[in-house]
Amino acid sequence: MSRTKTDILILGSGIAGLTFAIKMARQFPDRQVLVLTKTVEGETNTRYAQGGVAAVWNGEKDDFEKHVADTLDAGDGLCKEEIVRIVVEEGPERVREIIELGARFDKEKGSNEYDLAMEGGHSEHRILHYKDLTGWEMQRTLMEEAARYPNITVKEHYFALDLITQHHLGRMVIRVTPDIECFGCYALNKQNGEIDTILARATVLCTGGGGQVYKSTTNPVIATGDGVAMTYRAKGRVENMEFMQFHPTSLFNPAGDNPSFLVSEAVRGHGGILKSAEGEEFMQHYDPRLSLAPRDIVARAIDSEMKKRGTDCMYLDCRHLEKESFLAHFPTIYEKCKSIGIDPMKDMIPVVPACHYMCGGILVDEHGRSSIHRLYAAGECSSTGLHGANRLASNSLLEAMVFAHRVFLHIKDNLHAWEYKEEVPDWNAEGTTDPQEMVLITQSIKELKDTMSYYVGIVRSNVRLQRALDRLFLLYRETEDLYKTTTISPQLMELRNLITIAYLITRSAAHRKESRGLHFTTDYTGQLSFVEHSVL
Ligand code: FAD
Ligand code: SIN
C-alpha cells in the first residue's frame, strides 16, 4: 500500500488522456502529471480506430455549416448545438496540432493534398485517415510525444477502483449533494496486488467506452465503462446512456472473436455495397442514402434483414472495386479477411452489427467539468452533447482532442487554487479473502452480456427491458455480496462496473418512451414532440 501525490491525475492513455497530458506537461514543467492505464499504454480504443478523424479541411468544397448540419442530423434532435459548433470549429486546429507532432495522414496520389474519405451521414469528403490504421498512428504519435516530458509518468497495469470524495472522509454524499469534490482515486497495482491511494489536485477521466457490456463488440477488452461506473458510484451525473451505437459492419466470424473485427465504414465510403447472400441490395427499402445512411439506420436495416431472412449475417460487396486502391486504403481489413478464407476481391465480406460506441456518459459542460468539483472527463467516457442520440462517424477522435484541449484550458486557470486532501484514509480491505471460485465472476460476466444482447440490443421493448432489469438486479446482489467478502481483483471490479453500465443503459432506455436515434423500441415507434436528455 502506498500513498502518492500528483498535481494532475489522468485515468486513461488513449487520445483524450495523452493529448491532455502533453498540453499540461508542456505548460507546467514543474507540475507532475500521472497517467494510469489498466493494461499497457498502447492498449486503448484509440489504437483500433480505422476510418479516421472528421474535420472540415477542404474549404473550397466543405464548410463548418455542413459538418454541423450532418452532426445534428445524425444526432436526431438530441445534440447540443453550441457544443457541435465548438467541436466542428475548433476541430481543424486540433488536427493540425497532432500533425505537427508527427501524425501522418494519407495524401492523394502524386499530390500534397490530404486524401479525404467519405463515411455514412457525411455530405462531403472530410475524413483524414492513415490507411485503415488511423487510431494506431495517432496513438503512436501521442505516446512518442508524451515520452519526451520528464514530468509525465505513465503507470501501466494500474487499475483505478474508485474516485475519492468526502464520502471517504465519513460524510454522507448523495446524488443531490451540491459540493461533492474529488481528491484523487484508489488504484490497484496489478503487479503486486496492493491498493494505492493517489491524491491529486485535479482528476481527469479518459477511460473510454463500455462496449464489453455486449456479447459482440468492436471494443477491446479494456472497454468496461470503468470511468462512468466510478463517477456514478461517486454520485456524479451520467446522461444519455441508452444511446449505445452498434456499428453496422463488424466481420462475421463463426469462430467468434472478442473483440469483433471492424470492417470500416470507409469501405462503404469507397464504394462497398451492402447485399444479401443472394447478391440483392436492400438499403433502398430503408433510406435514400443507401449503404451510406447514418449508422443507426444501417445497423437496424441489417438487423431487420437478418431477422426476416433468418440468417446470421449480411454481406458487403467490394468485388467491383479496384484491387490496388482497396489494398492501399484497407490493408489490415484485406489481410484479416484473407486470414479467415475470404478474398474481398472475389468473395462478399460477411458482416454483422456489433456494439461500437457509447454516445452517453459522464455529463460534462463546455469545459469538460463533471458535476463533481475537480473532476473532469474527456473522450468516449464523457457526454458533451456532441453526439445526441447517434454519433456521426469519425466525430469521436475529433471530440476527444477538442475536449482534451478545453479541459487543459480550464484546469490551467484553476489549478493553483486546489490543495491535496491529506486526511484521506487508505483503502480498507479488512474482512476480505482471496476468491475461492473465479468461475463465479466469469459466469456472471457471460450472463450479463447475454442479458444485454438479448433484451437491450438494437431493437428493444418494454417487456424486454423489464426482463433485463430483473436479471441485472439479481446479478447486482450476488456481485455486491462477493465484493464485500472477496479480495479486489480487476475481474471483479470489471464485473461490478459492467453491471452498473448495463443498469444505466437499461434504466435510461426504459425511461425513454419514444424511438429516437440509436434507441428503437417496438412499443413507441414515433418520437415525442419535445426532446430531453436522460440524466441519472
Ligand atoms: P480510449 O482510447 O479507449 O482509452 C481508454 C484508456 O482508459 C485506456 O488507456 C485504458 O487502459 C484506460 N482505463 C479504462 N479503465 C481504466 C481503469 N479502471 N483504470 C485505469 N485505466 C483505465 N472514432 C473515430 O472518430 N474514428 C474512427 O475511425 C473510429 N474507429 C473505431 C474503430 C474501432 C474498432 C473502435 C473500437 C472505435 C473506433 N472509434 C473511432 C471510436 C474511438 O476510437 C474512441 O471513441 C476513442 O478512441 C476513445 O478514446 P479515449 O481516449 O476516450 O479512450
Ligand atoms: C469506422 O471506421 O467505420 C469507424 C469510424 C467511427 O467509429 O467513427
What is the DSSP annotation of 479-512?
Answer: HHHHHHHB---HHHHHHHHHHHHHHHHHHHHHH-
Whether 332 lines ligand 1, by a CB cut-off of 6 Å, is no
Per-residue model confidence as pLDDT tens for the chain (536 residues): 799 999 999 999 999 999 999 999 999 999 999 999 999 999 999 999 999 999 999 888 999 999 999 999 999 999 999 999 999 999 999 999 999 999 999 999 899 999 999 998 999 999 999 999 999 999 999 999 999 999 999 999 999 999 999 999 999 999 999 899 999 999 999 999 999 999 999 999 999 999 999 999 999 999 999 999 999 999 999 999 999 999 999 999 888 889 999 999 999 999 999 999 999 999 999 999 999 988 889 999 999 999 999 999 999 999 999 999 999 999 999 999 999 999 999 999 999 999 999 999 999 999 999 999 999 999 999 999 999 999 999 999 999 999 999 999 999 999 999 999 999 999 988 777 777 778 889 999 999 999 999 999 999 999 999 999 999 999 999 999 999 888 899 999 999 999 999 999 999 999 999 999 999 999 998 887 667 888 88
SS3 of residue 274 by DSSP: strand
Q: Tell me, yes or no, whether 186 lies in a domain.
A: yes
Ligand 2 proximity of 393 Cβ (cutoff 6 Å): yes
Q: For 240-252, what is the HEC assignment?
A: CCCCEEEEEEEEC
Of 304, 328, 354, the one marking the end of a domain is: 354
> Do 294 and 325 belong to one domain?
yes
Ligand nearest to the CA of 247: 2
Q: Against a cut of 0.85, is the pTM above it?
A: yes
Residues 212 and 325 occupy one common structural domain = no
**Residue 17 within a domain:** yes
pLDDT, position 434: 76
Looking at the structure, tell me whether residues 235 and 188 fall in a common domain.
yes
CB 361 less than 6 A from any atom of ligand 1: no
Give me the CATH number covering residue 505.
1.20.58.100
Atom of ligand 2 minimally distant from the CA of 356: 7
Q: Are residues 350 and 364 in the same domain?
A: no
The reply to whether 214 and 176 lie within a common domain is yes
Residue 102: inside a domain, yes or no? no
Q: Which ligand has the shortest distance to the CA of 257?
A: 1
Q: Does residue 234 share a domain with residue 167?
A: yes
The CATH code of the domain that includes 410 is 3.50.50.60
Instruction: Out of 87, 126, 246, 262, give the residue to mutate to test ligand 2, the one with the largest number of ligand atoms within 8 Å of its CB.
Output: 262
Residue 410 domain flag: yes
- Domain membership of residue 71 (yes or no) is no
Q: Which domain holds residue 160?
A: 3-50+134-242+359-417
Q: Are both 391 and 484 inside the same structural domain?
A: no
Q: Counting atoms of ligand 2 from 1, which one is nearest the CA of 265?
A: 3
Q: CB of 392 closer than 6 A to ligand 1?
A: no
Question: Which residue, 305, 335, 354, sits at the end of a domain?
Answer: 354
If asked whether residues 227 and 304 sit together in one domain, one would say no
Distance CA 270, CA 267 (A): 5
Tell me how far apart the alpha carbons of residues 395 and 379 are, in angstroms, rounded to a whole number. Answer: 11
Query: Do 363 and 350 share a domain, yes or no?
Result: no
Evaluate whether residue 20 is within a structural domain.
yes
Which residues have CB under 8 Å from 465's CB, separation 6+?
455, 456, 506, 509, 510, 521
Query: Is there a single domain that holds both residue 280 and residue 389?
Result: no
Q: What is the reported pLDDT for 529?
A: 66
Q: Which residues are catalytic?
A: 295
Instruction: Ligand 2, residue 51: give the atom nearest the CA.
Output: 2
Sign of CA dihedral 132, 494, 243, 65: negative
| Domain boundary, last residue among 354, 386, 401 | 354
- Would residue 434 count as lying in a domain? no
Position 130 scores a pLDDT of 97
Q: Does 335 lie in the same domain as 199?
A: no
User: Is the shortest distance between the CB of 333 and ligand 1 below 6 Å?
Assistant: no
Q: Say how far apart CA 258 and CA 216 lie, in whole Å.
A: 7
Q: How far apart are CA 17 and CA 200, in angstroms?
A: 15
Q: Report how many helices (DSSP H) and strands (DSSP E) the chain contains, helices first.
A: 13, 18
For residue 124 the three cell numbers come to 462531403
Burial of 60 (0-12, 13-18, 19+ CB in 10 A): exposed
Residue 39 CA, ligand 1 centroid: distance in Å: 13
Q: What pLDDT is recorded for position 60? A: 85
As a whole number of angstroms, the distance between CA 195 and CA 131 comes to 41
d(CA 499, CA 505): 10
- The CATH number of the domain where 308 resides is what? 3.90.700.10
Residue nearest to atom 43 of ligand 1 (CA): 46
Residue 100 lies in a domain: no
Ligand closest to 392 (CA) is 2
State the greatest distance between any 2 C-alpha atoms of the chain, in Å, as a whole number: 68
**Residues 399 and 454 both lie in one domain:** no
Total domain count for the chain? Answer: 3
